[in-house]
């Protein structure tokens, strides 16, 4: 069954995914106070903003996976690619906003988050699957 058909069969899940994507979009284009997310994040590896990107896109990857009820590897990869493309598109929009900026590291954090969210969806779907 194709993903669009699955979205039509699960309008509530689709609405949750679209709503979450809208929240991510709005949060990505509104002005932020200068220096609000520049401190180092957990583990001191990258800035807090990269963690916010990764966590936000993990949630989006999970909700999109759930909306299309991704089961197989190809379906999960498609969901992750859609979420990563959405994140890249938002970064391109930010490039033209005077109060935001484009960042390759942000794109990477979005992709990593989408992959983690897709993997979480697979784990939840596997656990919730009835055993025969």
Q: Across residues 39-64, what is the average pLDDT?
A: 83
pLDDT at residue 13 in the model:
87
pTM, full prediction: 0.84
The mean pLDDT of 75-99, rounded to a whole number, is 93
Q: Where are the alpha helices (DSSP H) in 1-132?
A: 3-9, 11-29, 48-67, 73-96, 104-128
Name residues whose C-beta falls within 8 Å of residue 21's C-beta, 6 or more positions apart in sequence: 60, 64, 86
The pLDDT of residue 70: 81
Instruction: Please tell me the predicted confidence (pLDDT) of residue 34.
Output: 66
Compute the distance between CA of residue 91 and CA of residue 32 in angstroms, rounded to an integer: 15
Q: How confident is the model at residue 131 (pLDDT cuts 50, 70, 90)?
A: low
The CA–CA distances, whole Å, from 34 to 17, 31, 37, 99, 102 equal: 30, 9, 8, 9, 15
């Amino acid at each position: 069954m194709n993903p669009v058909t699955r979205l039509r069969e699960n309008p509530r899940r689709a609405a949750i995914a679209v709503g979450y994507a809208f929240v991510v979009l709005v949060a990505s284009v509104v002005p932020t106070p200068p220096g609000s997310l520049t401190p180092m994040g957990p583990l001191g590896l990258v800035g807090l903003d990269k963690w916010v990107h990764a966590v936000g896109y993990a949630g989006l990857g999970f909700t999109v996976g759930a909306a299309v009820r991704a089961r197989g590897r190809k379906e999960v990869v498609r969901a992750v690619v859609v979420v990563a493309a959405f994140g890249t598109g938002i970064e391109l929009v930010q490039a033209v906003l005077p109060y935001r900026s484009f960042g390759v590291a942000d794109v990477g954090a979005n992709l990593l988050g989408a992959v983690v969210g897709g993997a979480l969806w697979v784990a939840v779907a596997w656990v919730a699957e009835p055993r025969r």
